[in-house]
Amino acid sequence: MEKLVIEGGVPLKGNVRISGAKNAALPLMAATLLAPGEHVLRNVPDLRDTRTLLRLMGNMGVKSRREDDVLYIDSTNLEHAEAPYELVKTMRASVLVLGPLVARLGRARVSRPGGCAIGARPIDFHIMGLEHLGVRCTLEDGYVDAVVDSELTGNVVYFDIPSVTGTENLLMAAVLAKGQTVLKNAAREPEIENLIDMLNSMGAKISGRGSDKLIIDGVESLTPADATIIPDRIEAGTYLIAIAASGGCGTVTHCNPGHLPSLLEKLRHAGLLVTETEDSITIGFPDKEGDIERHISGVDIKTAPYPGYPTDLQAQFMALMTLSGGNSVIKETIFENRFMHVAELHRMGAQIKIDGRTALVSGLGLNSLDGAQVMATDLRASSSLVIAGLAARGRTEISRIYHLERGYENLIEKLTGLGARVWKEAE
Ligand code: EPU
C-alpha cells in the first residue's frame, strides 16, 4: 500500500487542466451496453473507477480499448448479464449496468452494493422504478435478479428524493421500453444532461433535459454513440478550494464554470476573488491598495441536489473553513455519514464540532493547521485531507490513497504543476 506525502505551506500558483467527469463517464460507459456496435467516448478520465467498470463490462463480453483519453467500446457480444459482488463492492456505481442490461437483454443479475463509508446508500428507488416498467426484481443471496417477463413498458416513476444514478438507470431502461415513461422529481445534475445528450444522439427520444421531469418515448433500437464526457466539476472545485486554502492564486482550465454555481458564490462570499471565462475559472485573493489581503471569511453551506451545493464538495469546503477567520455552519443533507474527515482534520489542529448532520467549524486562520499522519476514508474525505495537507505547516502523510485514485486523474502531477511538494511513498 502507498501513502501520499505532502510538505505543506506552499501557496499554489499556475494553471491546472481539468479531466473528464468520473460521474459522467460511468453512466455513459454503461449506456454503451444499450446498442451493439463500436461506441466512441471522448475525454474519459483514466481512473480506478473507470477501469473497474471496464473490467465489469469485459466480464460481460464487451471489448474495449483506450487511446489517450478516447475509449472505444464494442458491446456487440454482450452475453453475461451479471455484476458480481467482488466488483460491485469496490464501486457502487456498478449498479448502473442494471438499467441497460434489462433494456437490451431482458434480464440482469447485479449484486446489491451494501453500505459504504458515507452512508447506507440503498438502491430501492432503482428497483421500484424498474418494477414500474414491468421488470420483476427478486432479491436473493445478496443479488438483485431482474427479469422482464413480457416486455418493458413505459410508466410514471416518481422519486421520493432526486437520485442521480437512480435517474440514470431509469433513463437507460426507459429508452427501449414500449410507450412513454415520465420520471418525476428526477435529479438534474449536469452528468444527467450529458447522458441524455448521448442517448438522444443514439436515437432515443428524451425531453425535459435540465428539469426534474423527464419524458422518454421508447424506441425500438439505438445506434452506437460518439459522445464526449463533460469536465469534472468536482475535480475543478477541489483544485479551486486547494488553491485558496494554500493562500495562492491560479486557474482551472478546460472546465465548465456554469456547472459550479453554488461553489463559486460561496467562494466569493468567503472573500475570494473568482473570475470566469467560458471554460476556465481563476481564483485568488483581492488586492487592497497594493497589498494582497490573504483572509478567508467564515461562510455557511448546506448540501442539496443540483443546482444546490454539491455533497461531493462538502469535505473540501470544510477544510477551507478551518482556515477562515470566522465561524461556519456546514449541513450535510444528502448522506448520513459524510463527516469522516472531521476526526482526521482534528489531528491537524482544526476546531470542528459535530451535531448530527451539522458541523460547526471555528476557523483559526490561514496557516493554522499542522501536518500530521491521517487516514483517507472515502474519495472526497481524502481530497479534503489533501487540501488541509497543502495548507498545513510541515509534513502530512495520508494513508489508503487508493480512495483518491478512484476519482482524481494524475493528482500528483497536477498538484506538482501548481508548485506543491507532494509525492507517493510505500507505507
Ligand atoms: N437514495 C435512496 N434510495 C435509492 C437511491 C438513493 O434512498 O435507491 C438516497 C441516498 O441514500 C441519498 C440520496 O438518495 O440520500 C441521493 O443519492 P443518489 O442516489 O443521488 O446518489 P448516487 O447516485 O448513489 C451519485 C454520485 C455520488 C454523489 C451523489 C450525490 C455517481 C456515480 N455517484 O451517487 O458521487 O455523492 O450522486 O450527488 O454519480 C463521489 O463521486 O464521490 C460520489 C459519492
Burial 123-151 (b: 16+ CB within 10 A, else e): bebbbbbbebbbbebeeeeebbebebeee
Give me ligand 1 centre to Cα 220, in Å: 30
Indicate which atom in ligand 1 lies nearest the CA of residue 336: 15
Any atom of ligand 1 within 6 Å of the Cβ of 357? no
In what helix (H) or strand (E) does residue 52 lie, and over which residues does it extend?
A: helix 48-59
Report the SS3 class of residue 65.
strand
Q: In this structure, which residue's CA is closest to atom 18 in ligand 1?
A: 163
CA distance 208 to 353: 42
Burial class (CB in 10 A: 0-12, 13-18, 19+), 333: middle
Distance 135 CA to ligand 1 centre (A): 22
pLDDT in tens, the chain (427 residues): 899 999 999 999 999 999 999 999 999 999 999 999 999 999 999 999 999 999 999 999 999 999 999 999 999 999 999 999 999 988 999 999 999 999 999 999 999 886 677 877 889 999 999 999 999 999 999 999 999 999 999 999 999 999 999 999 999 999 999 999 999 999 999 999 999 999 999 999 999 999 999 999 999 999 999 999 999 999 999 999 999 999 999 999 999 999 999 999 999 999 999 999 999 999 999 988 888 888 999 999 999 999 999 999 999 999 999 999 999 999 999 998 899 999 999 999 999 999 999 999 999 999 999 999 999 889 999 999 999 999 999 999 999 998 999 999 999 999 999 999 999 999 8
pLDDT of residue 28: 98
**Ligand 1 mean position to 53 CA, how many Å?**
17
CB-ligand 1 contact for 164 (6 Å cutoff): yes
- Which of 121, 302, 380 to mutate to test ligand 1, by most ligand atoms within 8 A of the CB atom? 121
Query: Which pLDDT score is estimated for 115?
Result: 64
Q: Single out the residue of 415, 413, 408 nearest to residue 390, CA to CA.
A: 415
> Could you identify the atom of ligand 1 that is nearest to the CA of residue 26?
32
Which residues form the catalytic set?
116
| Cell numbers standing for residue 222 | 439505438
Angstrom distance (rounded) from CA 7 to CA 350: 18
Our CA angle for 72, 143, 50, nearest 5°, is 25
65 contact partners, CB below 8 Å, separation of at least 6? 71, 72
CA neighbor of 350 nearest in space, from 384, 313, 299, 300: 384
Decide: 124 in ligand 1 pocket, CB within 6 A.
yes
CA 152 to chain CA centroid, nearest Å: 30
Q: Does the beta carbon of 115 sit less than 6 angstroms from any atom of ligand 1? A: no
**CA–CA separation, 207 vs 200, rounded Å?**
9
Give the number of the atom of ligand 1 that is nearest the alpha carbon of residue 168. Answer: 23
Q: Is 214 in the pocket of ligand 1 (CB under 6 A)?
A: no
Phi and psi, residue 286, nearest 5°? -70, 150
Helix axes 124-132, 164-174, angle to 10 degrees: 20
- Is 294's C-beta closer than 6 angstroms to any atom of ligand 1? no
On the CB side of 194, how many CA atoms lie within 13 Å of its CA?
A: 30
Helix 22-31 vs helix 48-59: crossing angle, to nearest 10: 10
DSSP 248-296: -EEEEES--GGG-HHHHHHHHHTT-EEEE-SSEEEEE--EETTEE----
CA distance 398 to 390: 12
233 lines ligand 1 (CB under 6 A): no
How many angstroms separate the CA atoms of 138 and 10, rounded?
55
Q: What is the number of H-type helices and E-type strands within the chain?
A: 14, 26
pLDDT at position 119 is: 78
Unique residue bearing C-alpha cell 510505500: 426
| Ligand 1 center to 121 CA (angstroms) | 7
Give CA–CA dist 172/25, Å, rounded. Answer: 14
pLDDT of residue 43: 98
Q: Which atom of ligand 1 is nearest to the CA of 96?
A: 32
Angle at the Cα of 170 from the Cα atoms of 164 and 176, rounded to 5 degrees: 145
- Element spanning 386, H or E: helix 379-391
DSSP state of 231: B
Measure 417 CA to ligand 1 centroid, in angstroms. Answer: 32
| CA 344–ligand 1 middle distance (angstroms) | 24
Cβ 126 under 6 angstroms from ligand 1: yes
Helix (H), strand (E) at residue 390: helix 379-391
Q: Is 379 in the pocket of ligand 1 (CB under 6 A)?
A: yes
Q: State the Rg of the chain over Cα.
A: 22
Which ligand 1 atom sits closest to the C-alpha of 191? Answer: 39
Alpha carbon of 116 to ligand 1 centroid (Å): 11
- Measured CA to CA, the distance from residue 307 to residue 263 in angstroms comes to 10
Helices (H), 159-218: 164-174, 190-201
Q: Is 122 in the pocket of ligand 1 (CB under 6 A)?
A: yes
State whether the beta carbon of 335 lies less than 6 angstroms from ligand 1: yes
First and final CA of the chain: distance in angstroms?
Answer: 6
Q: Which of 164, 260, 316, 380 to mutate to test the pocket of ligand 1 (most atoms within 8 A of CB)?
A: 164
Ligand 1 atom at minimal distance to the Cα of residue 378: 42
Our CA angle for 401, 404, 405, nearest 5°, is 95
